[in-house]
């Protein structure tokens, strides 16, 4: 058994961790590992292995023992999102109001992709600000909107089904607004929240204004190692292209009820670029994934070389400590406690939020999978009990050779 204690996976059951472990060296021979990417790759490779420590469990009936290793808990790891997602869902369920909710999507044109890859934090911040201000301005408009403050939850995604770089923002918007005076709730009815053509124009204007300010402040840069893409000329050319394009803002019909809101939006909250169930096969020749063809409305497959697959995946790594789920309007963190209580009172609900349902890891796994994690996997009768803690074995870290350390120092 390897020091990682990870069972050998067959080509048909390969995971993202397996792909990283087998092919990261080939990737590093062609590309540099950036500082934000290094801990992600390390976490994926070491997740649920002896490197991160764990515990030794022993069955009280058949006395067999098994090692259970800790998860990495990295937000880019497909194995570690279930608990975080369920916790988020429980919190949002308690905050839902008995009103319609709308789903809006703001998409950036692909002409900005190269600049965004080198300036992720700045471009993503601008996207959040431009989209939220667009929705809030339309909400405050008394002539064409409700004339009050909306509640908005925004979630950043940077991928499509084939792992291409596709920057867009999913927004959950309340079907009503709190009046400026704070003494009335203004309902919004209809199949669509606001006209998307008008929203796209305002969104483009706000984004470009913020983008040009960032450029003037020196916050937007493009490396000059490619003479055809020197910073000033490339950025100016990109700005002209962005102004000439129609920007896409998509608005869906309102959800049928508060419960359907959470069930639907939970798909987007802690989703990563690709989950393990979409990986069909893995070999030295190629990685095959399945994806949804939205135009043909069918499920298809596509194969990449291992290096190309890793390149596509790593371009979706979010900068360290960057918040990809944000709240605006009357549910903004700075004022949510007070304003949400006001909204609830105006809608005939108690001002205090209902208690959040908490579950143990055992209860959560039993509800989601039907598996009792305390039940012995051998005799199916006894209860697994902790015999001792297993220490971390950081000296076994594979992703730590000199070539990779040099890549970290010279990204």
Q: Encode pLDDT of 358-386 as tens digits.
A: 788 788 888 878 889 899 999 999 999 99
The structure's pTM equals 0.90
Residue 410 clears pLDDT 50, i.e. is over it: no
Give the whole-angstrom CA distance, residue 60 versus residue 50: 24
Cα–Cα distances (Å) from 307 to 17, 30, 184, 311, in that order, read 14, 8, 57, 6
- Mean pLDDT along residues 390-401: 68
Contacts of residue 227, Cβ cutoff 8 Å, sequence gap at least 6:
none
Residue bearing tokens 């305002």: 202
Q: Token pair for residue 330? A: 């009357």
Comparing 82-91, 235-244, 245-254, 391-400, the range with the smallest average pLDDT is 391-400
Residue 4: DSSP 8-state: T
Comparing 92-101, 164-173, 297-306, the range with the smallest average pLDDT is 92-101
Q: Token pair for residue 89? A: 């869902």
Contacts of residue 13, Cβ cutoff 8 Å, sequence gap at least 6:
none
At 226, the pLDDT band (50, 70, 90 cuts) reads low
From the list 104, 124, 105, the residue with the least C-alpha distance to 113 is 124
Residue 309 clears pLDDT 60, i.e. is over it: yes
At how many degrees (to 10) do helices 82-95 and 258-269 cross? 150
Mean residue pLDDT across the chain? 88
The answer to whether residues 74 and 80 touch, using CB atoms and an 8 Å cutoff, is yes
At 229, the pLDDT band (50, 70, 90 cuts) reads low
Per-residue model confidence (pLDDT) at position 156: 96
From the list 56, 65, 55, 45, the residue with the least C-alpha distance to 4 is 45
Q: What is the pLDDT of residues 155-214, one digit of tens each?
A: 999 999 999 999 999 999 999 999 999 999 999 988 888 999 999 999 999 999 999 999
Q: What is the pLDDT of residues 27-79, one digit of tens each?
A: 999 998 888 999 999 999 999 998 899 999 999 999 999 999 999 999 999 88
Residue 303 clears pLDDT 90, i.e. is over it: yes
Contacts of residue 335, Cβ cutoff 8 Å, sequence gap at least 6:
none
From the list 325, 344, 320, the residue with the least C-alpha distance to 271 is 325
Q: What is the pLDDT of residues 55-66, one digit of tens each?
A: 999 999 999 999
Per-residue model confidence (pLDDT) at position 225: 58
């Amino acid at each position: 058994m390897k020091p990682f204690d990870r069972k050998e996976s067959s080509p048909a059951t390969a995971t993202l961790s397996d792909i990283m472990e087998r092919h990261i060296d080939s990737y590093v021979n062609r590309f540099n590992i950036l500082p934000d990417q290094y801990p992600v790759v390390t976490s994926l490779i070491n997740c649920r292995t002896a490197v991160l420590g764990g515990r030794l469990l022993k069955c009280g009936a058949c006395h067999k023992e098994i090692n259970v290793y800790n998860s990495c808990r990295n937000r880019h790891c497909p194995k570690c999102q279930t608990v975080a997602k369920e916790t988020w869902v429980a919190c949002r369920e308690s905050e839902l109001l008995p009103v319609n909710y709308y789903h809006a999507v703001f998409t950036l044109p692909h002409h900005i992709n190269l600049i965004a890859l080198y300036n992720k934090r700045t471009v993503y911040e601008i996207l959040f600000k431009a989209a939220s201000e667009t929705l809030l301005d339309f909400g405050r408009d008394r002539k064409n909107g409700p004339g009050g403050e909306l509640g908005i939850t925004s979630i950043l995604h940077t991928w499509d089904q084939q792992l291409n770089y596709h920057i867009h923002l999913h927004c959950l918007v309340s079907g009503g607004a709190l009046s400026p005076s704070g003494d009335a709730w203004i309902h919004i009815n209809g199949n669509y929240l606001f006209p998307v053509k008008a929203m796209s124009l305002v969104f483009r204007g706000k984004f470009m204004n913020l983008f040009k300010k960032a450029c003037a402040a020196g916050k937007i840069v493009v490396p000059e190692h490619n003479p055809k893409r020197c910073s000033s000329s490339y950025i100016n050319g990109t700005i002209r292209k962005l102004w000439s394009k129609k920007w896409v803002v998509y608005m869906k019909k309102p959800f049928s009820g508060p419960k359907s809101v959470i069930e639907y939006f939970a798909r987007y909250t802690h989703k990563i670029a690709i989950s393990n169930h979409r990986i069909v096969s893995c070999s030295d020749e190629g990685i095959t994934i399945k994806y949804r063809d939205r135009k043909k409305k069918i499920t298809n497959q596509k194969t990449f070389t291992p290096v190309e697959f890793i390149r596509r995946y790593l371009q979706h790594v979010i900068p360290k400590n960057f918040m990809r789920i944000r709240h605006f309007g009357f549910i903004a963190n700075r004022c949510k406690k007070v304003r949400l209580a006001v909204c609830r009172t105006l809608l005939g609900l108690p001002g205090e939020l209902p208690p959040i349902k908490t579950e143990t890891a055992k209860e959560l796994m039993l509800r989601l999978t039907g598996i009792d994690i305390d039940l012995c996997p051998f005799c199916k009768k006894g209860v697994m009990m902790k015999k001792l803690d297993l220490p971390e074995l950081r000296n076994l870290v594979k992703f730590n050779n000199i070539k990779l350390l040099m890549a970290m120092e010279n990204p």
